[in-house]
A and B are shown apart, each in its own frame.
Chain A
Amino acid sequence: IAGITQAPTSQILAAGRRMTLRCTQDMRHNAMYWYRQDLGLGLRLIHYSNTAGTTGKGEVPDGYSVSRANTDDFPLTLASAVPSQTSVYFCASRPRQSHNYGYTFGSGTRLTVV
């Protein structure tokens, strides 16, 4: 089934540890995004990639890094996790960066930093 796969589904992580959240899509979408969702704050954009080989910073990029080595994969890395990064993380994609195309969302990764 075409779509976005996020892994892991959930994770408890000790503060200071490094963690990579994986996101893979099989739709050959050019544009990909990482959002975090926090109660009462909605979804906030962390990083985005308009096409393979390019990335950009969103609204809340501090403490996170991304890479886009190919079209399908867009991993999000927390170099040294802190408790404020406890959140639900959603990866999304669309065929191109234009608003004419809607987003497809993954099912999310629930991360708890203790």
Chain B
Amino acid sequence: AQSVTQPDIHITVSEGASLELRCNYSYGATPYLFWYVQSPGQGLQLLLKYFSGDTLVQGIKGFEAEFKRSQSSFNLRKPSVHWSDAAEYFCAVGANYGGSQGNLIFGKGTKLSVKP
């Protein structure tokens, strides 16, 4: 069965520092991978997605992620964090339920705090 693991529940970084959020997935074939961000009291917003091709994917707000098949990972990175990046981040993998593709399985999330 497909699954997503985000090992870090909470991360704190200083403003201006670099950021890496970890995501590991379990999937039998080439996965569809996503990163979403959720600000407090809001719904989720898509940051970036990977389907195939170039393993380094660029997203919105200066984020990027790298797909590494050998490590079953899809880590999210940002070179310089801004205070407005404080939020919860979710990694997700495309899944099948009852033969219907198109659903997502989400990790449990990583909460990012940014120190001034």
Contacts and interface: CB of A to CB of B under 8 A. Distances in A.
The secondary structure that dominates the B interface is strand
Interface of B: 9, 32, 34, 36, 41-46, 49, 51, 90, 94, 97-98, 100-109
A107 B97 contact: no
A4 B42 CA distance: 12
Contacts, number: 70
Contacts of B32: 99
Contacts of B45: 105
Interface stretch (A11-19, A35-43, A66-74, A79-87): A35-43
Interface residues of A, number: 30
B43 A42 contact: no
Given A58-B97, A99-B32, A103-B104, A43 B43 contact: no
30 contacts: A31-B102, A40-B9, A40-B108, A42-B90, A42-B109, A43-B106, A44-B106, A45-B105, A48-B100, A48-B103, A50-B100, A56-B97, A56-B98, A57-B97, A59-B105, A90-B44, A92-B43, A99-B102, A102-B34, A103-B36, A103-B44, A103-B104, A105-B43, A105-B44, A105-B45, A106-B43, A107-B41, A107-B42, A108-B41, A108-B42
